[in-house]
Amino acid sequence: MNCLPKSDIRESFPILSTVFDDGKKLIYLDNAASTQKPRCVIERLKRFYESENANVSRGAHRLGNIATSEYETARDQIANFIGANPEEMIFTSGTTESINAIVYGWGEENVKKNDEIVVLVSEHHSNFIPWQQLAKRKEAFFKVVSVRRDGTLDLNEFKKAITNRTKVVAIAQVTNTFGVIHPIDEIVEIAHSKGAITVVDGAQSVPHILTNVKEMNADFLAFSGHKMLGPMGIGGLYISKKRIGEMRPFFFGGGMIDRVYNDRTKFANPPQKYEAGTPNVAGAIGLAEAVKFLKKVGMAEILDHERQLLEYSYHKLDGINGLALYGTRDLEKRVGVLSFNIEGVHPHDVATILDFQGVAIRSGHHCAQPFMRYLGIHYTARASFYFYNSVEDVDALTDAIKDVKERFS
Amino acid sequence: MEISELYADIIMDHQRNPRNYGTLEEKDVEVHTTNSSCGDEIFLEIKFDGDKISQIAFHGHGCAISKSSASIMTELVKGISKQKALELSKKFVEMVKIGKTQERELKDAVVFQGVSQYPLRTKCATLSWHALEEALKRTAV
């Protein structure tokens, strides 16, 4: 299967040539929500269902063997992509399930009364609510650390918040709202220095930044496949060797056992121990194909391309009266996410009017209500780039923004 | 559909100058309703005179569609009975769902017919009407 990105990379993505009924071309700028799929991923799914489909690790028949082998090869490739060993990565449906898996598999066992759980105010709800609720169940303290208004973290403030009682630090490496990159290595080091374990929400970082869990030294890293060219409903959770021994299974059923007796069960070794039930085999294989594609494009090139588009956006939009652009101006600390508001215009109206021009963006609270409340804004409009976006896409965005301003002025 | 149809002049007029916007000094009921998918919220206050809605006001934050819809709703139901207001609400919600109406009583609110083409935005148009229904339910005899 040829997965080499074409010289015009957009041609590898069938959906990007969409022209709607009204003649408007699709300008897809909602990549932080979900990315589009290259042809090779779509074809890989098709091939699986046409010639390889069977349940894994069960029967002894040929298809079962092929499916099992492809599934475990996918695990090798995806684990390798984040610098992990295959036995340290479990498949989940995505970041939300991964974080809940940490909470139910590790948190329930290890977080005790009066422990502290630390998150940032800018976390996505999926790295916020599971911890908030765990803290309530355990009578632990749920500490929400502030960030600067530009979304960046003051490491000194963060340091002060971490105490000897801090058990867990759960932080997104990149924020989904403004695309701000946090200094994750330092965060992990500070947390570990006080004996806390670290949970990294990689939903917005793994697709854009070369990730190596060993260098990062985090205890857990969660990520989603569909935000990095893969199918929906597949994602991963890296669990360090130390932590995997402290976990208990949180889903029980087929595929996760060694021996079952009337009165007890001996579980399989990780990762199978934490993957009960029939897994999303096609999803895992499709994500492995996506990872191959990303490697060929190059993670450094991806981030570099996004930065160029971001710089170009600022060049075109900066200084427009009544237009607020959120996030630090130090674009080295950003991925290709542009959150903005037009004075006097609700972002839902912005998104709808942009949609008339074929420009797809996200609007709302971005599942980060505590952060929006902290900033005193209710919501933003958000354009988010990926490597297949072009300067012309940014032109369409900026023209449409100017159109909104005129209509509502 | 064109932008100018969804964002018709009448909608733009009401979103710029919403009617009955603010709070009431005396009220019989206050309802707070939110649209969880976007975070929009509306506070609706009503003062009754017997069975009639004598005064009504709203505030909160929302998009052009939700704000103008609330504004037009308050104009429509001011001075009419609870029963009549409920009937209107049902007709409005139905119209936004199916995209058309024969109901002349809906007056300016018929401008929201086009919202049906934007399933994610229909909640914006109906938010204030649902708040109204909640207020009437709470004060039902």
Which range marks the domain in which residue B54 is found? Answer: 3-138
| pLDDT above 70 coverage of chain A, percent | 98
Residue A252 has pLDDT above 50, yes or no: yes
DSSP annotation of A11? G
The mean pLDDT of chain A is 96
Beta carbons of A346 and B62 less than 8 Å apart: yes
* Residue A30 confidence (pLDDT) above 90: yes
Supply the pLDDT for residue A105: 97
Q: Are A362 and A32 in contact (CB under 8 A)?
A: yes
Domain coordinates in residue numbering, chain A: 9-30+298-408, 44-295
Residue in chain A lying closest to B41 (CA): A378
* Mean of pLDDT values over A117-124: 98
A130-146 tens-digit pLDDT: 999 999 999 999 999 99
Tens-place pLDDT, residues A202-222: 999 999 999 999 999 999 999
| A323 Cβ contact partners less than 8 Å away, ≥ 6 residues apart | A317, A340, A341, A342, A343, A401, A405
Across the interface, do A378 and B121 touch by the CB < 8 Å criterion? no
Q: State residue A4's pLDDT score.
A: 56
pLDDT confidence tier of residue A408, bands split at 50, 70 and 90: confident
- What is the pLDDT at residue B40? 86
> In this predicted model, what pLDDT tens digit does every residue of B64-76 receive, in sequence order?
999 999 999 999 9
What does CATH list as the number for A9-30+298-408? Answer: 3.90.1150.10
Work out the average pLDDT over A170-195: 98
Give ipTM to 2 decimals: 0.86
Band of residue A60 on the pLDDT scale cut at 50, 70, 90: confident
- Confidence (pLDDT) at A1: 42
Mean pLDDT calculated for residue range A86-115: 98
Q: What SS3 class is residue A4?
A: coil
Distance (Å) of CA B60 to CA A299, B26, B66, B131: 44, 18, 10, 12
Does A365 reach chain B within 8 Å, measured CB to CB?
yes
Marked catalytic residue, from A268, A361, A367, A394: A367
Nearest beta carbon to residue A349 from set B2, B61, B63:
B63
Question: For residue A399, what pLDDT band results from cuts at 50, 70 and 90?
Answer: very high
Q: What is the amino acid identity at position B55? A: Q
Residue A367 designated active-site: yes
CB contacts, 8 Å: A372 with chain B: 39
The list of chain B residues with pLDDT below 50 reads none
Question: What confidence score (pLDDT) does residue A330 get?
Answer: 98
State the DSSP H helix or E strand holding residue A222, giving kind and residue range, or none if neither. strand A220-224
Pair B124, B62: CB distance under 8 Å: yes
CATH fold label, A44-295:
Aspartate Aminotransferase; domain 2 (3.40.640)
Mean pLDDT of A144-154: 98
Q: How many domains does chain B have?
A: 1
Residue B60's CATH number: 3.90.1010.10
* A373 vs B: CB within 8 A: no
Grade residue A163 by pLDDT with cuts at 50, 70 and 90.
very high
